A and B are shown apart, each in its own frame.
Chain A
Amino acid sequence: MRDILKMLVVLTAICAVSGFLLALVHDVTREPIEYSRLKFVKEPAVKAVLKGYQNDPIKDRLSILVGKDKKGKPVNLIVFPAKKDGKTFAVAFESSAAGYHGDIGVMLGVDLASKKLTGVSIVSHTETPGLGARITEPNFTNSFKDKPMDKELAVGDINALSGATLSTKGVVAAINNAQATLNKYRDKMVQ
């Protein structure tokens, strides 16, 4: 009996201490982990769509509450501001829309003064290799550059891919979604 009790107490104590320690480490590393995840996963896309900034857009990122998901958890839009002399002149954020097969995630940069796209980069997609997957090619993404963000973009405005109409439409729809987001949250983005 004494043996069993001792085992119980010792194991429980070890587990409790270890649980406490892990919670502590988790708390301390949460911020840096979020930063390095964004840094290594999102920064290449942000760099591709924003030019001429002097700040660290990852570090200066803003989280804007845009609604709730089905479970009632808040959904945040992460905005990467590009600053020059301390003032935000452009922002980058992600937008998505359905393509031919699943959602296409697009990172886009918008110049706030001229309301034009500074660049577009595809961050996630599951389009058909060789057909729809060509949306990631510079030939396609570069054709979005300098397109206005204050009126709806049509497929005819850009270098549409033949044989991948639905994928092309998906990217255009994602940009148009982003226009709505931009109009709605513009004030919060420049803070």
Chain B
Amino acid sequence: MSIAKEFTKGLWEIIPPFRLVLGLCPTLAVTTSAENGMGMGLATTFVLVCSNLLVSLLRKIIPSKVRIAAYVVIIASFVVIVELMMQAYTFPLYQALGIFIPLIVVNCIILGRAEAFAGKNGPVASIADGLGVGLGFTISLAVLGAFREILGSGTLWGQGLFWEGFEPFTFMVRAPGAFVALGLFLAAINLISAKLEDRKRRAQS
């Protein structure tokens, strides 16, 4: 596969968390607003790209028996770097995301990409893969966050959208709303893919 293909597959073919249903914990917890979702996505992307690059560079040096331990050390280091940077320069976002920043360590997407892709491919392809999957994750979280924010608080990016007296559907920014929103998105994505496949098959026959 070409480098461009490695990048674009993360944006649709295996877009997390809708296709690659991994990393659901932060997905459900932080998408209460578009901004939080985007911040979380970008932090994850940074860690993913850096860990993919390092894992790919070290893939021939790391003995396969201790590869998971080595990956976890690499990922954890980058997560701590992100955490310190966020505390230093974007404190309100750090407060909003709270415990979910350190929990990027156990985000399955990152370990999953290290194990499934970066451990077997070269550094350039691994960066493309990390960027693609990371951006896909960021877009998903931002869209999911925007959807919940519009319905749940009647705002988008902190800006009021509706007329005065609009009663926001607060259920959507609570935890159950996260499951409902995720379910709706999963259903929509599956429906679109089914339609696309159907059209492809009809075009062939």
A, B co-complexed: yes
Chain A residues within 8 Å of B201, by CB:
none
Complex contact A18–B84 (CB within 8 A) = no
Q: Is the CB of A10 within 8 A of B81?
A: no
Instruction: Name the contact of B88 in the complex, choosing from A15, A21, A22, A29 (C-beta under 8 A).
Output: A29
Chain A binding surface, main DSSP class:
helix
Bound together, the chains give a CA A32 to CA B63 distance in angstroms of: 39
B61 sits at the interface (CB 8 A):
yes
Residues of B within 8 A of A7 (CB): 63, 65-66
Q: B62 on the interface (CB 8 Å rule)? A: yes
Residue of A whose beta carbon sits closest to that of B89: A32
Interface of B is mostly: helix
Is B73 a contact partner of A36 (Cβ separation < 8 A)?
Answer: no
Q: Chain A, interface size: which category? A: 10 to 19
Q: Which residues of B contact A39 (CB under 8 A)?
A: 91
Complex interface bits, A32-43 against B, C-beta within 8 A gives 1, otherwise 0: 110011011000
Chain B residues whose CB sits within 8 angstroms of the CB of A11 once the complex forms: 66, 69-70, 73
- Alpha-carbon distance between A25 and B85 when the two chains are bound, in angstroms: 8
Q: Check B85–A29 contact: CB distance below 8 A.
A: yes
Instruction: State whether A40 and B88 are in contact (beta carbons under 8 Å apart), knowing that A6-B63, A14-B70, A22-B80 are contacts in the complex.
Output: no
- A18-B74, A40-B95 are contacts. A29–B66 as well, Cβ < 8 Å? no
Determine whether the beta carbon of B92 is less than 8 Å from that of A40: yes
Measured between beta carbons, the chain B residues less than 8 angstroms from A15 are 73
- Measured between beta carbons, the chain A residues less than 8 angstroms from B193 are none
Size category of the B interface is 20 to 34
Contacts of A25 in B (CB 8 A): 80-81, 84-85
Residues of B within 8 A of A6 (CB): 63
Question: Is A87's CB within 8 Å of the partner chain B?
Answer: no
Q: Does A26 contact B (CB under 8 A)?
A: yes
CB closest residue in chain B, given A15: B73
Closest to B95 in A: A40
**Chain A CB within 8 A of B170 CB:** no
Other than the given A11-B73, A22-B80, A37-B87, 19 more pairs (CB < 8 A) read A3-B65, A7-B65, A11-B70, A15-B73, A18-B73, A18-B74, A18-B76, A22-B81, A25-B81, A25-B85, A26-B84, A29-B87, A32-B88, A32-B89, A36-B88, A36-B91, A37-B91, A40-B91, A40-B92
A-B contact pairs, 18 of them (CB 8 A): A3-B63, A7-B63, A10-B61, A10-B70, A11-B66, A11-B70, A14-B58, A14-B74, A15-B73, A18-B77, A22-B81, A25-B84, A26-B84, A29-B84, A29-B85, A33-B84, A33-B88, A37-B91
A contact set with B: CB distance below 8 Å: 3, 6-7, 10-11, 14-15, 18, 21-22, 25-26, 29, 32-33, 36-37, 39-40
Q: Which B residues are within 8 Å of any A CB, using their own CB?
A: 58, 61-63, 65-66, 69-70, 73-74, 76-77, 80-81, 84-85, 87-89, 91-92, 95
The 10 closest A-B pairs by CB, nearest first: A32-B88, A18-B77, A36-B91, A29-B88, A29-B84, A33-B88, A33-B87, A7-B66, A7-B63, A40-B91
